[in-house]
Amino acid sequence: MARSAPTVAYKPKPGEIPTNPGVYRFRDAAGRVLYVGKAKNLRARLSNYFAPLHTLHERTRRMVTSAASVEWTVVASDVDALQLEYMWIKEFDPPFNVRYKDDKSYPFLAVTLADEAPRVIVTRNRRIPGAKYFGPYPKVWAVHDTIDLMIKVFPIRTCSDSSYKKAMATGRPCFPGQIGRCGGPCSMKVTIEEHRAMVNDFVAFMSGGDQRFARELTARMREAAAAMDYETAAVYRDKLQAIDAVLGKSALVLSDDTDADLFGIAEDELAATVQHFVIRGGRVRGVRATTIEKEIDISGADLVDQVLQRTYGDAAAADIPRQVLVPALPEAAADLEEWLRDRRGKRVTIQVAQRGRKADLMKTATLNAQQALVLYKTRRTSDYVARTQALTDLQEALGLSEAPLRIECFDVSHLGGTNVVASMVVFEDGLPRKDQYRTFGVPETTDDTDSIYQVLTRRVAYLDRPEEQEEPTTSQVDGEVVAPVRKKPRFAYPPQLLVVDGGKPQVEAAARALADAGHEEIALCGIAKRLEEVWLPGEEYPVILPRTSEALYLLQRLRDEAHRFAITHQRKRRRRDIQSVLSEVPGLGAVRIKALLRHFGSVAALGEATPEQIAELPGIGPKLATTVHEHLARR
């Protein structure tokens, strides 16, 4: 009788799990909640976790095997499941759910509506009771500029609470009020009720850039001018100019009746960044940045689902817009819309921005998210404490005798098996040493493993050369030529760790190269991109580093940098090869070569074109077109 594939001991018995919608929790032996999830059908969803262990995603397997039990709660509807999942994630902060790191560096403009006389302030504190927030703003000066302009139109209070109390107790205006910088009741110019009305207008304007204020001020200015009250007309004129300046600081990107939140997302296997554009009155009123650290494999639409729950779980009704624009539609989009409608009290739609100005704005948000992701990874691996932790974690995970202070990473790049090149990038103390990057041409090879073997054999050969016998070499780093050097002791310096881009086959090929060269003392590992597994030579199973591990971030950055450098070199080499092929054609100069490549896109496409098609290009006559066609046909 065949044995069933192994799974976990706490797997529920058949029929125990209901088919209702609900929320489930995995707990470890100490009772700590490890993961919270929701499902429209609990039995169907949980059965995915209790499949044979070897079929599970590496990180899902790690969570399932770390747990000791699973429990579930049935709810009445999918919307209830969504709400309960959010509550439990917030309560238990499970380590295998995605982790959010809000960008708290940006300041906000806040109006303290709970005060007797609300004031406008610049703050990074998002927990002021009863406050209404606008922004965040990328720069502090941008908030102050906005306040300076706005109080010319809506002269509301700007002084501190202590100044306000002192002024109201003594009957003497606060100092900002004396110099015209505060318009609260403490300035002795308006009553509390009149001031509250101005505050409401301020909030209404900032919430949507309400054009009615501009229309009203224009009408009043004209009335004053018609009555020859030019002094009053000038006051209205200055206020109109201030409104125009505020609106000019936030470009109109959509129609002026658009209230929406737009989310651009960039992600890799370990993390994601979210750029949240707050659009009110057709203008981008604020940008919020969030970094998400992923433990369980989650991407695309599932990530959007989590982001929307996080964003609106504690949001006030007034902060939920009519429209939410996302890069991918979650599976539970209808449930999310119903959940948001219940919270807002009005209809909310979730849509994918596919065309027009909304799609253009989505591209902008996504580009910002991509840049933020690169910056996040760079800062994380550049931080001294994080670097030290990364090197220590690598030492422990790979069983090294010392921390790998010098790491070299290799990647192979090719075009359909041709034009094969390899790159070597060097990190010392966790930081890139671009002056020591190298590239290798691989003229003849059978596959990636053979290329890795050849390149590492050539690399480690330098370790056995006396310094004075080394050949002068040149290299290019980011387009800059490094001058020839006679002696290169740095290249002869042995690394503590070699990293190859790939899984078990690539690692075994690299291990053969080290063994054949007699340098088995050098530690070796490979990082496979699909699951971010770390492979060691001779091991049947990979090492799985936690997704929040500094060591994994360092390895990932090494791999990505090697890949980038190999691709860059290969493209430059390919471009040189194309130019050299066409430069052999008599009568074809640099300008015509560039025009041909721009028109046809590649030498291959040009080679498939007829002489008549080539001759259609301005400056290429029938005779030259025939010569080009015949030359490429002989290749």
What structural domains and CATH numbers belong to the chain?
22-97 (3.40.1440.10), 108-249 (no CATH), 260-378 (3.30.420), 384-568 (3.30.420.340), 584-633 (1.10.150.20)
Question: Alpha-carbon distance 275 to 362, whole Å?
Answer: 10
Q: Are 23 and 42 in contact (CB under 8 A)?
A: no
Residue 505: is it exposed, middle or buried by C-beta count within 10 angstroms (0-12/13-18/19+)?
Answer: middle
Radius of gyration of the chain (CA): 32
Question: Alpha-carbon distance 231 to 250, whole Å?
Answer: 30
Q: Are 540 and 402 in contact (CB under 8 A)?
A: no
Q: Are 156 and 119 in contact (CB under 8 A)?
A: yes
Question: Alpha-carbon distance 283 to 287, whole Å?
Answer: 11
Q: Which two tokens stand for residue 556?
A: 């990932």
Confidence class for position 553, pLDDT limits 50, 70, 90? confident
For residue 583, give the nearest of 565, 567, 598, 603 by alpha carbon.
603
Q: Once rounded to an integer, what is the mean pLDDT over residues 404-429?
A: 80
- Give residue 40's Cα distance to chain centre: 29
Confidence class for position 393, pLDDT limits 50, 70, 90? confident
With residue 136 as reference, give the H or E element that holds it.
none
Q: Once rounded to an integer, what is the mean pLDDT over residues 230-238?
A: 75
Whole-model pTM?
0.49
Q: Which two tokens stand for residue 162?
A: 């202590």
Q: Which two tokens stand for residue 216?
A: 């009203």
Please write the tens of the pLDDT for every residue from 92-138.
888 888 776 655 556 777 899 988 889 888 887 777 888 888 766 65
What are the backbone angles phi and psi of residue 157, rounded to the nearest 5°? -70, 140
Q: Are 442 and 420 in contact (CB under 8 A)?
A: yes
Task: Calculate what percentage of the chain has a pLDDT beyond 90.
Answer: 5
Helix (H, G, I), strand (E, B) or coil at 139: coil
- Give residue 249's Cα distance to chain centre: 26
Q: Once rounded to an integer, what is the mean pLDDT over residues 51-78?
A: 82
Tell me the β-bridge partners of 583. Answer: none
